[in-house]
Amino acid sequence: MKSAKGQYPLYPLYYRDDSHWNDLGAFIGYQEIAKHLKLEFKQVTVPEVKDLTIEEYIHGVGAGLSSMMVMSGEFPEIEVKLTIQPQIKERIATPSLMIFQDSFFDGMKPYFDGNFQTVLPQGRAQNIDRAKVEREHPEVVLLIAVDNDFGLYLYPEK
């Protein structure tokens, strides 16, 4: 994300009072995942920022740390909202995805939905259901976890 910040110096990538990324940060995260998927699946497209409409506005209520400290109005949030431009081209076959995720995936979901025909979000990453993976047999299984509790995903029995 540090290198991406240099590409978009006018816009924040994260919320001011929250550890989550905003729409632009989520888009950049999605781009990186799509680049890696494209190495294996040539039909995956990697959208560019030029394919999006960027709107920036300020709203006065923070939803993260400031609200926990009962200071919601003290830190106005700069919101960066992205809108995916409608694709005119015909959709091509893309790999089926099964995704186990944390809350950081929420901002990425529109980009996955817009680029893949089959997206099977499976709930929070701590609950990876191996039997379901074997039963559904997706072409790609993703674990998208950018969380403070990352160790829970690697060592769930501890």
33-68 pLDDT, tens digit per residue, is: 999 999 998 888 888 877 777 777 776 555 566 666
Alpha-carbon distances of 65 from 13, 84, 149, rounded to whole Å: 17, 29, 17
Buried b (16+ CB within 10 A) or exposed e, 48-87: eeeebeeeeeeeeebebebeeeeebeebebeebebeeeee
Q: Round to whole Å and give the CA distance between 66 and 73.
A: 8
pLDDT band with cut points at 50, 70 and 90 for residue 155: low
User: What's the pLDDT at 143?
Assistant: 84
- pLDDT (tens digit, 9 = 90+) per residue, 98-143? 888 888 888 888 888 877 767 776 766 667 788 888 998 888 888 8
Could you tell me where the DSSP H helices lie in the chain?
2-7, 23-40, 65-68, 105-115, 130-136, 150-154
In total, the chain counts a number of residues equal to 158
Residue 25 pLDDT greater than 50, yes or no:
yes
Q: Residue 38 has what pLDDT?
A: 92
Which pLDDT does position 88 carry in this prediction? Answer: 39
Q: How many CB atoms lie within 10 A of CB 31?
A: 16
Residue 87 has pLDDT above 60, yes or no: no
85 in helix, strand or coil? coil
